[in-house]
Amino acid sequence: MKQNKMPFIEPGDRTVFKVPENYFKDFEANLERHLDTFEKEKVSSNGLLQVQTKAKKFKFSMETHRPILYIAAMFIFLLFSISLVLNLSSDKTSSSLRLSAESQTTSTTSSVPTAEDYLINSIGTYGITEYYVDSEYLK
């Protein structure tokens, strides 16, 4: 037979390969430990996955709501600029009001007759000049 030419071990014979004593029993025990660790890791990774999925969902919602966010941002900017413009114009008005008030004050103050005014009015410009000139000549 052809097969006899080869130094074949009889089919089914595995004697060249050996395993440590009680290997299969120990393997079962080891595998149980590994399965426990594997399950724990799976649970923790599932938790992490859930957190990641939530984050992803949040990111996704950010993406879908981006136009709305842009519009909101623009609206806020518009409000801000309007309020700024209004503030400036109100400032201008108030300052002009303040100026007019100041001018009014000055005008009121100028309209109130002082003692000096009274004297000038009663004596007259000419009289005063005459007074000064005369007093010069008197010296």
Contacts with another protein, 19-58, as mask; x by CB under 8 A: xx---x--xx-xxx-xx--x---x----------------
Taking the CB of residue 120, how many other CB atoms lie within 10 A of it? Answer: 13
Alpha-carbon distance values, 102 to 25, 97, 98, 99, 105 (Å): 105, 8, 6, 5, 5
Contacts with another protein, 86-125, as mask; x by CB under 8 A: ----------------------------------------
13: contact with another protein by CB under 8 A: yes
Nearest distance, CB of residue 69 and another protein, angstroms: 41
Count of residues that bind another protein according to CB under 8 A: 27
* 83: helix, strand or coil: helix
Helix (H) or strand (E) holding 82: helix 66-111
4 HSE (CA, 13 A, CB side)? 1
What is the contact surface with another protein in residues (CB under 8 A)? 2-3, 5-9, 11-20, 24, 27-28, 30-32, 34-35, 38, 42
